Structure 1
Amino acid sequence: MSGVLYGLGLGPGDPELITLKTVRLIKEADVVAYPALVGGDSFARSIAQEFIPEDCIELSIEIPMAVARAPAQAAYDQGASTIAQYLSEGLNVVVLCEGDPFFYGSFMYLFARLSGEFTTEVIPGVTSISACAAAVAAPLSSRNEVLTILPAPLPTEELVARIGVSDSFAIMKVGRHLPKIKRMLDELGLTQYAHYIERASLPNQVVLPLEDAPEKAPYFSMILVTKGNDPWL
């Protein structure tokens, strides 16, 4: 019999935000796989490191961080091929994923390659948006309000159009796009409602009004805006 493939959501970074089910599956795993920077460390592994069995097989899948899709797709192809070999041998494989596996998660690319052939289970995790809202101590939306999730690399005109029809929104993958986002929100008159959060739930978490945000932002940063609505009214 083939092994089972598990996509495990680890949450935003604080190990205490990992679900009990995910902890159990990590501890029971034959193979623990995780994405990593090429030649670098794995953030996903660092979140779950205290739960990884000493006698398990570890598989680091190095993903190139480049605009071109081909190098990353090749890395997922190779990673999926290796995982398939372990599953075919009857070993259970867990893939560690920051946040939630199906919310901008790298696991979805392995899922697309393997789920048609092997039994696969996805365990959800706390999303970065939930962690950032908690860090800001502000509700994202209520009743019939519309929450929109926007990747910062989108063209400015598309961001403006989507913001115009949203009650609240989260801008993700801020990084080098922070100056563009700050200018845009200032021109829209929304800076006063915006919060900047980086590395939510981690010891080095930063939470600031957007106007006080630094000029450079790490990849794990986000901007939350609620347009001044009070969900308690």
Structure 2
Amino acid sequence: MSAGTLHGVGLGPGDPDLMSVRADRLLRSARHVAFFRKAGRSGQARRIVEGMLHKDVIEFPMEYPVTTEIPVTDPSYNATLSDFYASCTEHLRALVDSGEDVVVLCEGDPFFFGSFMHLYTRLRDVVPVQVVPAITGMSGAWTATGQPITWGDDILTVLMGTLPLEMLADRMVQSDAIVVMKIGRHIEKVKSALQQAGKFEDAWIIEYASMPNQTVQKLSQAGEKITPYFSIIVVHGQGRRP
């Protein structure tokens, strides 16, 4: 029996209309669909494709054993996630080895800070794997502001809110345009870094970019009424123009 193929399919920033034609085709014809989610939640990737999947599709939700319960600096964090990815990999490999094609749903682009990468590195040399790229979440966020993110020779830096305050502030000072992702419970630290870098008044926060409940506002005017987990902060470059 010939092996199937594992497809890592990028879903884009959230609006199904922004998916690629190839992603749409694979989703609608998929027999097996896998996706990551937090235990007890439906999962953002699964919500994006609601109504698009075949009625007989077999779903494989991969539920993270930890998210914020253990600090990323704790050795048990990596160990726990490594076991989790190994278990997911075993299940997916068995399906592909039996001749089944499997679509793994990926928010944004599969190769841009996505969990799919941990499956890809474990499976790419043992089963056929194909990756479908997509519009990133940050592209959806800066487009929602109605302003170009970079001009001319602007330097764009993408930062994770999980980084130390000093590193965040230092990289912000050195950059013309900024994107901050993975904000979550680090929102106050990110605000402090922007203030230290002199970028706070120029920062925008976009919640649920490209989704029906999208909000776009200056960070300085947002107050406490924001949803950090599904938010991206951007600072636009102001570089060379004709």
Task: Write out per-residue CA displacement over residues 151-180 of structure 1, whole angstroms, 9 at most, x where no aligned residue.
Answer: 011011111221222111101111211112
Question: Aligned to 2:216, what secondary structure does the other structure show?
Answer: strand
Q: Distance in 1 between matches of 2:223 and 2:84?
A: 33
What is the match of residue 218 of structure 1?
228
What is the match of residue 34 of structure 2?
33
With the length of structure 1 as denominator, give the TM-score of the two structures.
0.94
Q: Distance in 2 between matches of 1:173 and 1:156?
A: 14
Task: Write out per-residue CA displacement over residues 52-108 of structure 1, whole angstroms, 9 at most, x where no aligned residue.
Answer: 111222111111313322222222111111111110110001100111100011110
Question: Aligned to 2:28, what secondary structure does the other structure show?
Answer: helix
Say whether 1:114 aligns with 2:116.
no
- 2:153–2:240 CA contact under 8 A, matched in 1: no
Say whether 1:76 aligns with 2:77.
no
Cα RMSD for the two superposed structures? 1.5
Question: Aligned to 1:95, what secondary structure does the other structure show?
Answer: strand
Partner residue of 1:159 out of 154, 168, 190: 168
How far did residue 38 of structure 1 move? 1.4
What is the match of residue 141 of structure 2?
132
User: 1:95-114 residue pairs with structure 2 within 5 A?
Assistant: 95-114=104-123
How far did residue 190 of structure 1 move? 1.5
Q: Distance in 2 between matches of 1:32 and 1:83?
A: 10
Q: Against the structure 1 CA distance between its residues 24 and 151, is the aligned structure 2 distance closer, same or farther, given a 3 Å change threshold?
A: same
With the length of structure 2 as denominator, give the TM-score of the two structures.
0.91
- 2:150–2:239 CA contact under 8 A, matched in 1: no
Report the number of matched residues: 232
Unaligned runs of 5+ in 2: 72-76
Question: Aligned to 2:105, what secondary structure does the other structure show?
Answer: strand
Q: Distance in 2 between matches of 1:204 and 1:89?
A: 41
How far did residue 231 of structure 1 move? 5.2
How far did residue 43 of structure 1 move? 1.1
Q: Against the structure 1 CA distance between its residues 16 and 88, is the aligned structure 2 distance closer, same or farther, given a 3 Å change threshold?
A: same
- 2:172–2:194 CA contact under 8 A, matched in 1: no
With 164-173 and 61-70 compared, the bigger mean Cα shift is at: 61-70
With 136-145 and 77-86 compared, the bigger mean Cα shift is at: 136-145
How far did residue 195 of structure 1 move? 0.6
Identity of aligned residues (%): 38
Report the residue type matching 1:22 in the other structure: A
User: 1:1-233 residue pairs with structure 2 within 5 A?
Assistant: 1-63=2-64, 64-66=66-68, 67=71, 68-215=77-224, 217-226=227-236, 229=238, 232-233=241-242
